Amino acid sequence: GAVVSQHPSWVICKSGTSVKIECRSLDFQATTMFWYRQFPKQSLMLMATSNEGSKATYEQGVEKDKFLINHASLTLSTLTVTSAHPEDSSFYICSAKDRVNSPLHFGNGTRLTVT
For binding to other proteins (CB under 8 A), which residues are involved?
Answer: 4, 6, 9-10, 32, 34, 36, 41-44, 46, 49, 91, 93, 95, 100-101, 103-109, 111
**Strand partners of residue 34:** 49, 95
Q: What span, in angstroms and rounded, lies between the C-alpha atoms of 102 and 114?
A: 35
**E-strand spans in the chain?**
4-7, 10-13, 19-25, 32-38, 44-51, 57-58, 67-73, 76-81, 90-96, 105-106, 110-114
**Strand partners of residue 63:** none
Q: Give the containing element (helix H, strand E) for 109.
A: none
> Of the two residues 20 and 111, which places its CB atom closer to other proteins in the complex?
111
> Of the two residues 13 and 44, which places its CB atom closer to other proteins in the complex?
44
- Shortest distance (Å) from residue 83 CB to other proteins: 25
> Of the two residues 70 and 98, which places its CB atom closer to other proteins in the complex?
98
- Shortest distance (Å) from residue 29 CB to other proteins: 15
- Shortest distance (Å) from residue 18 CB to other proteins: 23
> Of the two residues 65 and 101, which places its CB atom closer to other proteins in the complex?
101
